[in-house]
A and B are shown apart, each in its own frame.
Chain A
């Protein structure tokens, strides 16, 4: 379980997260929605320890991410996929995926690379296994990014606007993979602007506005009267749907 209580985070004078409470249980797919600047990405970056939190507590399977020793354990349990892929440019797709298993989990290189190839095959990239990121399209890069996170066999997948940098076609290829993962029972925290997709795969929707969580509802309720009763949510959804 990922447990977040009273989370506060500010950058200088700007408060980005202002008292967030959220719980993500094993098997859940929780989508985090909200307009740009609402603190969605920061939330992910607090969970994986890339940002130091100012107040509150975040635990991943009981490990407190603000304690350095716990953070290492917490990080082994969550896999992050980045908006801009963040692949290592000097490594091939396979090497990108095998790096952390070899270095952190001490899996023998041969085994890790075989597993990497298996993952790449799952996302339809077996022929590109030995290509460098510069030789891959955006959608292909993000699929490698997803494989890299999966290779660590994480209990939780943290997805930070993973399709924002992709065109609709590439977005579709990435989303179909995520849909498969969701069906397979992978726990996900999914920060996104893809509302329809979020609706189709999530068990719950959390809605952030100006650093506060103004809704945390089961998906059907969020998209029904209960969610629409919240003016901010209604406004957001109507704007997004016009596009």
Chain B
């Protein structure tokens, strides 16, 4: 057996890489969901100053490349603040921030998609702003947002591959290593691509199922 041949262990390596990618994707998505939604709520309440700050930060995050943000966090922050930032920390911070910015945009438009008539109906019966947000707006906004959100998440899964450049052992990094060792780029990158594809399909499928549930009330069941 030549040094450059594939071994069964390579499969384990690939799956490990996939595990790292998925773990990062899931954790940064959850953090992004919490932060992005919180930002949208701040905007909903029109909190002075904070709303403007949030809008500005989201603008910055949306309109600059993730790779540049990653370099800034991984190389820039340590140099500027004299602190140590591990590749994983940098990856989590950058991807969470990026997801939060886009989730904020989706959440804002989802909240605004709920008709004025809905707010008025809730207001005249004396519901507080928080009760209206929780009981009337949030469920309808979620049904509206789930489609765009699924699209975003499928994309964010692919974006995680950028973190391989700072040395996180994700699926792409593993592919890189295997490629250098075996010198069979077509095989390696096909395998890596298929793994991303299947995972993305899984995300899309989960999103579609969730959407169906959130939109159950629009289903026509006859008079």
The residues of A with any CB-CB pair to B shorter than 8 Å are 48-50, 72, 75-76, 78-80, 82, 84, 86-91, 99-100, 103-104, 131-137, 140, 148, 152
Contacts and interface: CB of A to CB of B under 8 A. Distances in A.
B220 to A, nearest CB: 7
Contacts of B206: none
A218 to B, nearest CB: 29
Contact of B126 (A75, A90, A133): A75
B127 A104 contact: yes
Given A80-B124, A99-B127, A134-B217, 12 more contacts: A75-B123, A76-B126, A80-B125, A88-B121, A89-B218, A99-B122, A100-B127, A103-B127, A104-B127, A104-B131, A134-B218, A140-B223
B221 interface: yes
A208 B120 CA distance: 24
A90 B140 contact: yes
Contacts of B135: 99, 103
A135 B223 contact: yes
Given A82-B117, A135-B223, A137-B223, A89 B126 contact: no
Interface in B92-121: 117-118, 120-121
B203 interface: no
B147 interface: no
A88 B219 CA distance: 15
Contacts of B221: 131, 135
A134 B125 CA distance: 22
Nearest to B136: A88
Contacts of B220: 134-135
A86 B218 contact: no
B121 A87 contact: yes
Contacts, number: 76
Interface residues of B, number: 23
B10 to A, nearest CB: 49
The secondary-structure label for the interface of chain A is loop
B192 to A, nearest CB: 41
A82 B125 CA distance: 12
A89 to B, nearest CB: 6
Nearest to B215: A90
A90 B124 CA distance: 19
A50 B117 contact: no
B139 interface: yes
A165 to B, nearest CB: 12
A136 B220 CA distance: 9
Contacts of B122: 88, 99-100
Q: Which of B117, B139, B217 has the most CB of A within 10 A?
A: B217
Given A90-B139, A90-B143, A49 B124 contact: yes
Considering residues A84, A99, A136, A152, which has the most beta carbons from chain B within 10 angstroms of its beta carbon? A99
Contacts of B127: 99-100, 103-104
B48 interface: no
Nearest to A87: B121
B45 to A, nearest CB: 16
B128 to A, nearest CB: 8
B222 interface: yes
Nearest to A86: B121
Interface core residue of B123, B143, B219 (most chain A CB under 10 Å) = B123
Contacts of B123: 49-50, 75
